[in-house]
Structure 1
Amino acid sequence: MKKMSDLEKKYINALHSSSKAVVYHNHKIKDKFKKLSKSKNDNYLLGVKNTSQISKELVDKLTEDQTFLLHTIDKMARGGRAVDPELINPLTMRIMTGSSSGGCLNILEGINDLALGTDGGGSVLAPAAATSLYSLMAKGMGIQGNCSRISTDNLEFRPGIGFISHDFKICTLALKKLLSEKELALAEKSNLDELTVALPETETVILPHGEDMAALTAEIEVELSDYQVNRIKLAGSEKRKKAIEIIKKTFNEGNEIIITAEGPIDYYGYGDSVAGSFKIADFSQKKSGKYLMRAANLVNATAISIPTDRLGVALILLARPGIKSGFKVIKLAEKLAKNYKRPELFTRYFLENYRKSENNFLGADNFDQYFK
């Protein structure tokens, strides 16, 4: 039996997927695999959110050197909604978090390595956190959508563009493909000396599963010992307008990065402005586990989610707008991510399960022989 490459296995996974998460599968990509197999360079399969906010020029730039290959168009929650009732989160068995919903599922199903999404009020950070994936929303570094729009709770904004992956290094690699040489040069100048970080004050936010947010962020405080750490009150931050107010105040006070712990995302209740507009649903909205992540794009921050060892719970890092601050939060995230390891069963079931494709009938050369 011919041994399949990882690219071929992911292609086969998309081919026989019955999930609505795949809007379109690029069959032509298979013709490139043979040539790429002779290259020593790494290649990654890319899914792009089905939205006009992501320009063709941006995708062309990202895929120009074939490090990233456009593989699928991924489902977006209808109307950019914060939940997607048409998809199920295979990790939590709840309705999938939106609106970059399809991209996350296509990573968990072994179809893609990277999802390109848009974030208006948490639509990259939240679904990534809900599925224990990494994300990098780069609005603060100038990576944004084509035009302004109105959010589900009547706030005008331009969406940020973000990256979701099973590996944070893939997110940063994709970002660097979109930045200019001048912007990339600032990475070397963006050290973490004299960094000021804001953490949640104790007992101002109790997460839906009963844990104090401050107790969770305390687990990474040893990694922050070289920096100035300030405490901020986050009471009421489940409300988007209050979250915006808190972030702006914290940045204005001289803090460059804010770190929270948020979740379990959409596990005990759904954070959805549409349903939340009804009085009885407000209680459920408060249990969604979403706090500052819902406001990161609206303050033009660069924001990152790092999965933890708790189901649907992530560290959320927000940096002030600007390229240098963006690179600083990336460097800090790389440092903090080493503190958390997702359960081995999660890795084996979701991130490695696609390798079993060669045991399926469509594996090996059967597709070429019978269905090409």
Structure 2
Amino acid sequence: MKVEEMKYLANLNPFSSVIRSFPVSEGNGLLLGVKNDFHISPSFIQNLIDTKNYQLHTIDAMAQGGRAIDLKLINPITGNYISGSSSGTAINVFLGMNDIGIGSDGGGSVLAPAMCLNLFGFISYLIDKENMNLYSKVSTDDIRFRPSLGYIAKDFEVLKEIVKVTLPLEKDSSAHKIVISSADNDNYPFEVERIDFPDIYGDRKENIQFLEQVLPTVDFLISKEGPVDVEGFGDSVFGHFDERTKQIQRKAKKGLLRVANMVGATAISIPTNELGVSYLGICESIPSKIAVMIEKMEKLVIPQDELVERYFRDTETWFRKGYGE
């Protein structure tokens, strides 16, 4: 999609995911969408713009109060409410309106919206660390954490480039230890070790404990998760009431993505060919481990879904003429 078409799409705003848009032009860099959240520092965005590789295009709608499900925005694929809280940011990337979305993540607020739309997601405690250290929050299940910034993209190379621009990565040539769940029967294009995972869709505190124990002993782990929000209602406010609501929440299949940020980790999600299912890589926020994780996880990247590209990112879908025009 050309920049002019991306501008028209932002003005049309077919899913009410844009708060406001800014003038952009061809040849002045990739288009950014930024979540309408005070945690994201304008100086951080300006530093990206100053590289001349990025231009700010949209301020994106987010789920009210940072909720895990956005009751105002619809998932363009399923027609259900979309995962939050970086919901508008994910939609605007998915539609091709923006090349990169920048959001904030507390308990899956970047990773879940990315995963439910088969987009690439990335969060790290190290992005704009000095500013993000100023903030502290308490989750709906009474866990204190500080948020992280993260990125959503439909093209892996675009994601990889903005990570390089904003993170100090270090190459590591030593042998690597990568672990997956013993219940994961997939074949990986690199050596992995299988270990027992807890119930990743269960108690968040148990999963936090698991990551705190395992991450220091490995380069990174991979958790195959989803389908995110294809079924169920993945929101802890809804799920806390009783056993029935808890089971409905569980069906939304949000696993370790809910706790990666809470342990100060860095995470990357790589979509599979199944709707809402991704490989989620998680590592300690150590530059050498992050570099290894990105290098290995890139081997899991598959081509874009042709029908999604042809339908959602074709301007004729949104600008076809009506009767008598």
- The alpha carbon displacement at 1:85 in A equals 1.1
- The alpha carbon displacement at 1:249 in A equals 1.7
Kept after mapping to 1: 8 A contact 2:311/2:317: no
Q: Quote the Cα distance in structure 1 between the aligned partners of 2:224 and 2:311.
A: 25
**Structure 1 letter corresponding to 2:207:** A
Q: 2:62 is matched with which residue?
A: 76
Normalized per residue, the structure richer in helix is 1
Q: CA-to-partner distance for each residue in 1:172-192, whole Å, 9 max, x for gaps?
A: 21222224xxx35x2xx234x
Q: Secondary structure at the match of 2:292?
A: helix
Moved more, 310-319 or 237-246: 237-246
Stretches of structure 1 that go unaligned for 5 or more consecutive residues are 203-213, 362-372
From the superposition, tell whether residues 178 and 329 of structure 1 become closer, same or farther in structure 2 (CA, over 3 Å): same
The partner residue of 1:190 within 172, 196, 217 is 172
Stretches of structure 2 that go unaligned for 5 or more consecutive residues are none
- The alpha carbon displacement at 1:122 in A equals 0.6
- The alpha carbon displacement at 1:230 in A equals 3.6
**Structure 1 letter corresponding to 2:233:** Y
Q: 2:40 is matched with which residue?
A: 54
From the superposition, tell whether residues 268 and 140 of structure 1 become closer, same or farther in structure 2 (CA, over 3 Å): same
Q: 2:152 is matched with which residue?
A: 164
Q: Quote the Cα distance in structure 1 between the aligned partners of 2:304 and 2:53.
A: 26
Kept after mapping to 1: 8 A contact 2:123/2:267: yes
- The alpha carbon displacement at 1:91 in A equals 1.2
Kept after mapping to 2: 8 A contact 1:110/1:354: no
Q: Secondary structure at the match of 1:224?
A: coil
Q: Quote the Cα distance in structure 2 between the aligned partners of 1:360 and 1:171.
A: 34
Moved more, 304-313 or 241-250: 241-250
Q: 2:240 is matched with which residue?
A: 277
| TM-score with structure 1 setting the length | 0.80
Q: Map 1:1-372; keep pairs closer than 5 Å.
A: 6-26=2-22, 29-30=23-24, 33=25, 36-37=26-27, 43-140=29-126, 143=129, 145=132, 146-179=134-167, 183-184=168-169, 186=170, 189-191=171-173, 193-202=174-183, 214-215=184-185, 218-219=186-187, 221=188, 223-225=189-191, 229-235=193-199, 237-252=201-216, 254-279=217-242, 280-337=244-301, 340-350=302-312, 352-354=313-315
From the superposition, tell whether residues 80 and 261 of structure 1 become closer, same or farther in structure 2 (CA, over 3 Å): same
% identical equivalent positions: 34
- The alpha carbon displacement at 1:71 in A equals 0.5
Larger radius of gyration: 1
**Structure 1 letter corresponding to 2:65:** G
Q: Quote the Cα distance in structure 2 between the aligned partners of 1:136 and 1:190.
A: 20
Q: Secondary structure at the match of 2:211?
A: helix
Kept after mapping to 2: 8 A contact 1:129/1:305: yes
Q: Quote the Cα distance in structure 2 between the aligned partners of 1:287 and 1:324.
A: 35
How many residues align? The count is 319
Q: Quote the Cα distance in structure 1 between the aligned partners of 2:128 and 2:42.
A: 17
From the superposition, tell whether residues 127 and 357 of structure 1 become closer, same or farther in structure 2 (CA, over 3 Å): closer
**Structure 2 letter corresponding to 1:199:** I
Moved more, 325-334 or 121-130: 325-334
